[in-house]
């Protein structure tokens, strides 16, 4: 019963915040864009934000009750719907607006299916109001609202400042490289979300040794994924951009090389952010996020006039360091985990893979085939160097599943 009361009060706050966010997008965002075609799409972006946030809320609920298999099922539905609607729509209308509408339709379908899973929980939304719980949620959640605001700011300030200081053509190049990297950012978010209930449980039980081991293995696992992505992305940047967007987008290669390196920051930081929350230190994130956002603006203003989209990418990388390094140091003081001592063989294997990818690319091999071969080289190197990460991944999955 208490779980239902917490849920209904939480969803009320969520709806309030989503409504405020959508209003800001509709009425404020058009003032920051001088691209006429983009302004027309802004109300639909607000609609997307509403359903995207409702989806995220439901996913968070599933993770809270440790029913991550429901989240995985819904993600499969969403990705299938995106692919299906996208394919159908682009057959008739190959525009950004049409693609946006197909994505909105997919998210709406997902939200409807997701609400079916929680239909019993939302029945009491109008009767289970608790003023004290509402106040408690407000006190605990306002830092997340600011952090989310800073996150949106950091994701979009590059495009805004490029619009002020450079051309729409360069915005297109930068958006192409940024989009690929942002898709990769979803990987650590999913993994961190799956691990978070176990970490929070250990910390609540004051079993800090288990929490430390879980953090070390989780971060090592994310570097196991991030290291080849960064090195491979840098080596094959031109081939990847040409394959995904066409040769006319090759000017995006340099910014892609810089942005893809950010996975080395972003991947482990997903774990660290959740660890901060588990230790009830989320208020600390506000200062870090503000510092990162200010750094982003300053470095964009300094570097965009000199290097264009490459300068903007460098500013993003610098801002991420400004945000996440203090979090890393703070968590090290609270729970002294070790990471870099576990990465030697992973770095060596990724370097071998990078050299392999470079020479295969020189031979003119198709980039997809190159990626497959290079991934095989990486895994073989991991095996030959007797890196225990694969066993740790199995062990980690068992720890996450064990209540």
Q: Is the pLDDT of residue 2 over 80?
A: no
- Per-residue confidence at 63, pLDDT binned at 50, 70, 90? confident
Find the helix packing angle between 168-204 and 237-245, rounded to 10°: 110
Q: Provide CB contacts within 8 A for 238, sequence distance 6+.
A: 250, 253
Looking at 225-234, 355-364, 379-388, which range is the least confident one? 379-388
- Per-residue confidence at 402, pLDDT binned at 50, 70, 90? low
**Interatomic CA distance for residues 401 and 397, integer angstroms:** 6
Q: Between 79 and 181, where is the model more confident?
A: 181
Q: Select from 360, 384, 363 the least CA-distant residue to 372.
A: 360
Q: What are phi and psi for residue 88, nearest 5 degrees?
A: -65, -45
8 Å CB contact between 182 and 260:
no
* pLDDT above 70 as % of the chain: 90
Please tell me the predicted confidence (pLDDT) of residue 74.
81
Please tell me the predicted confidence (pLDDT) of residue 316.
94
Rounded to 10 degrees, what is the CA torsion of 388, 389, 391, 395? 130
Q: How far are the Cα atoms of 228, 247, 275, 282 from residue 139, in angstroms, in the given order?
A: 41, 51, 19, 11
Q: Select from 114, 135, 113 the least CA-distant residue to 6.
A: 135
pTM: 0.77
């Amino acid at each position: 019963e208490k779980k239902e009361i917490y849920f209904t009060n939480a969803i009320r706050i969520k709806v309030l915040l989503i409504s405020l966010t959508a209003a800001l997008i509709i009425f404020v965002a058009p003032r920051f864009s001088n691209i006429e075609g983009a302004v027309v799409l802004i109300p639909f972006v607000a609609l997307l934000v509403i359903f995207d946030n409702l989806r995220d809320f439901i996913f968070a609920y599933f993770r809270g009750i440790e029913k991550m298999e429901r989240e995985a099922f819904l993600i499969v539905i969403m990705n299938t719907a995106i692919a299906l609607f996208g394919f159908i729509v682009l057959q008739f209308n190959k525009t950004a607006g049409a693609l946006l509408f197909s994505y909105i339709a997919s998210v709406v379908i997902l939200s409807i299916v997701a609400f079916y899973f929680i239909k019993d929980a939302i029945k009491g939304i109008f009767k289970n109001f608790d003023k004290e719980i509402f106040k408690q949620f407000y006190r605990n959640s306002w830092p997340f609202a600011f952090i989310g605001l800073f996150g949106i700011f950091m994701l979009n300030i590059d495009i805004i400042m490029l619009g002020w200081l450079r051309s729409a053509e360069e915005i297109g190049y930068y958006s192409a490289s940024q989009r690929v990297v942002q898709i990769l950012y979803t990987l650590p978010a999913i993994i961190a979300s799956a691990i978070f209930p176990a970490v929070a449980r250990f910390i609540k039980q004051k079993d800090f040794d288990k929490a430390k081991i879980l953090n070390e293995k989780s971060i090592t696992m994310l570097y196991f994924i991030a290291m080849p992505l960064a090195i491979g992305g840098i080596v094959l940047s031109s081939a990847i951009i040409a394959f995904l967007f066409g040769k006319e987008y090759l000017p995006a290669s340099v910014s892609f090389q810089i942005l893809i390196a950010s996975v080395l920051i972003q991947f482990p930081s997903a774990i660290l952010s959740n660890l901060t929350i588990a230790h009830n230190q989320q208020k600390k994130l506000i200062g870090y996020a503000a510092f990162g956002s200010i750094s982003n603006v300053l470095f964009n203003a300094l570097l965009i006039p000199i290097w264009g989209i490459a300068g903007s990418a460098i500013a993003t990388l610098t801002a991420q360091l400004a945000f996440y390094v203090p979090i890393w140091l703070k968590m090290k003081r609270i729970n002294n985990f070790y990471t870099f001592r576990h990465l030697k063989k992973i770095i060596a294997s990724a370097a071998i893979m990078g050299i392999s990818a470079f020479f295969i690319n020189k031979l003119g091999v198709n980039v997809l085939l190159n990626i497959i071969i290079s991934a095989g080289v990486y895994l073989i190197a991991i095996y030959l160097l007797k890196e225990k990460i694969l066993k740790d991944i199995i062990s980690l999955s068992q720890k996450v599943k064990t209540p």
